[in-house]
Amino acid sequence: MSRKIGLDIGTSTLVSGIVEEDGVSVFKSQRDCFYKIIPKTAVNKNSIKMSLDKRKVSYVEDEDGAFIIVGKDALEIAVERNDTAERPMVKGVISPKDKAALPMLKFIIKSLIGEGKKGDKCFFSVPSAPIDGNFDILYHREMLSLYINQMGFEATPINEAFAVALSELVESELTGAVVTYGAGLCNFSIVHEGDPLIQFSVGRSGDYIDTSVANALDVSPSLVQVEKEAGTDLYNPKTKIIQAVSMYYRATIDYTLQTISHELNKKKKDLPMFRDPMTIVVAGGLTKAKGFVKMFDEVLKTVGFPMEVGKVLCAKDPLLAVANGALLASML
C-alpha cells in the first residue's frame, strides 16, 4: 500500500504525519538545528566520540573530522556550552550562506520519513513570500521538491497557512483566516470555501523574540528558546527571561497584525465578502504560550483590521496543525 505523508518543514522543528496501515495517523518531530564540535587533537576526537556515543546523541562526522550533532541534542549541548545551535533554515527557508544547511536538512527529513517507493506521496509545507523582506521562496521550494523526489516520494509543496486551514477550518466550511507563528516567519492566509485567496508572510516571529531577549539580557538565544518553550505564561511571568519574552511577544503580535492590516487595507477592493464574521485560527509554536489568544485578541482590536472578526481560535494542536493539514491534502 502506498504511503501518504504530511511534512511540516519549520525553521525550528520538523514534524511528519504518516497514515499507518491501520488508518491511524502517527506524528513525529525533530528539532531543525545542528551544533558542530571541532576536536583539538586525535585523542580529543576519540574522547568526544566516546562521550557522544555514551549519551546516545544523534550526530554525523563531516569531511574535516568535526562532529555535527543534530536535532534536540544539538540544542541541549549548545545551551550546556553557553553557545547557540545553528539552523539549516533562516526566516523559513534554507540558509543560502551555510554550506552545511542543505545536507543537515536532508539528514533530519530522512530521519523522519525514511525512503519512499513508487506511489508514496509527500506533501511538504512552504512559506509565503514575505511582504517586508527581499527574498523569495523559489530556491527553497525547488530544492526540497528535488530532494524529496530523490528519496522516492511524489513531492508536492503546500502553503503553510493553507495547510492549517485544511486542518482547523473544516467546521467553518474551510472559510476564514489563518495566522501561523513559527520561528522564522508569521504566515497569513484568507481562505474562502477552500480556496486560498490571499497569502503572504511577515518576517518577524519566534526567532525575533529569542534574539531580542538575548540581546537585552546578554544571554544565549538558545537559552531563551529553551526557557520560553519550557512554559511561558504571558500574563504571569515567573523569571526575568520570561518577563522580557512576554514584552517581545506583545511587540511581535502588534507588528505582525499592524503589517497584515496595512496589507489588507491596500487590497480592500479584492477582499471577499463573508456572510458571517470571520474566524481566525492561530497556530505554530509561539501560540502554545498561556494567554496567547487573549493577547492576540487584545492587539487585534487596536490595529484597524479591515474585516469583521467573529472569534479567534487556537489550533487543536498548534505544533501538529501544519503537518496534519499537509497529510489531509495528500489524501484528497
Residue 32 reports pLDDT greater than 90: no
pLDDT reported for residue 134: 77
CATH number for the domain that contains residue 265: 3.30.420.40
Residues in Cβ contact with 171 at an 8 Å cutoff, skipping those fewer than 6 apart:
none
Q: Count of CB atoms within 10 A of residue 292's CB?
A: 21
pLDDT reported for residue 267: 86
pLDDT tens figures, 292-319: 999 999 999 999 899 999 999 999 999 9
From the list 84, 69, 83, 61, the residue with the least C-alpha distance to 36 is 69
Residue 327 reports pLDDT greater than 90: yes
The edge-to-edge listing of strands for the beta sheet with 195-202 is 195-202, 186-192, 176-181, 278-283, 309-314
pLDDT reported for residue 241: 95
Flag whether 100 is in a domain.
Answer: no
- The secondary structure of residue 21, as a DSSP letter, is T
Q: What is the mean pLDDT of residues 172-191?
A: 95
Please, are residues 65 and 53 in contact by the beta-carbon 8 Å criterion?
no
pLDDT reported for residue 209: 95
Q: Pick the residue with more confidence: 272 or 194?
A: 194
pLDDT reported for residue 83: 87
Flag whether 69 is in a domain.
Answer: no
Average pLDDT, the chain: 91
Of 5-14, 62-71, 241-250, least confident by mean pLDDT is 62-71
C-alpha span between 73 and 55 (Å, rounded): 10
Q: Which of 45-49, 203-207, 229-233, 314-318 has the highest mean pLDDT?
A: 314-318
Q: Pick the residue with more confidence: 177 or 32?
A: 177
pLDDT reported for residue 79: 85
pLDDT reported for residue 71: 82
Flag whether 295 is in a domain.
Answer: yes
C-alpha span between 101 and 110 (Å, rounded): 14
- The secondary structure of residue 286, as a DSSP letter, is G
pLDDT tens figures, 157-171: 999 999 999 999 999
Instruction: Name the residue type at position 133.
Output: G
From the list 128, 206, 125, 170, the residue with the least C-alpha distance to 316 is 170
Residue 107 reports pLDDT greater than 90: no
Please, are residues 14 and 29 in contact by the beta-carbon 8 Å criterion?
yes
Flag whether 234 is in a domain.
Answer: yes
pLDDT reported for residue 310: 94
Please, are residues 39 and 49 in contact by the beta-carbon 8 Å criterion?
no
Taking the model in full, what pTM does it have? 0.89
Q: What is the mean pLDDT of residues 245-273?
A: 93
Beta strand extents in 96-175 (DSSP E only): 121-126, 154-159
User: Would you give the distance in Å from CA 144 to the centre of its chain?
Assistant: 15
Q: What is the mean pLDDT of residues 18-45?
A: 86
Residue 23 reports pLDDT greater than 80: no
What band does 291 get if pLDDT is binned at 50, 70 and 90? Answer: very high
Flag whether 146 is in a domain.
Answer: no
Instruction: Please state the domain count of the chain.
Output: 1
Q: Which grid cell is 281?
A: 485560527
pLDDT reported for residue 142: 92
Place of cell 550526530: 59
Residue 1 reports pLDDT greater than 80: no
CA angle 176, 178, 181 (to 5 degrees): 165
pLDDT reported for residue 271: 86
pLDDT reported for residue 166: 97
Flag whether 276 is in a domain.
Answer: yes
pLDDT reported for residue 203: 92
pLDDT tens figures, 124-152: 999 999 999 877 788 889 999 999 999 99
Flag whether 225 is in a domain.
Answer: yes
C-alpha span between 275 and 170 (Å, rounded): 16
Domain assignment of residue 291, given as a range: 163-321
Percent of the chain beyond pLDDT 90? 61
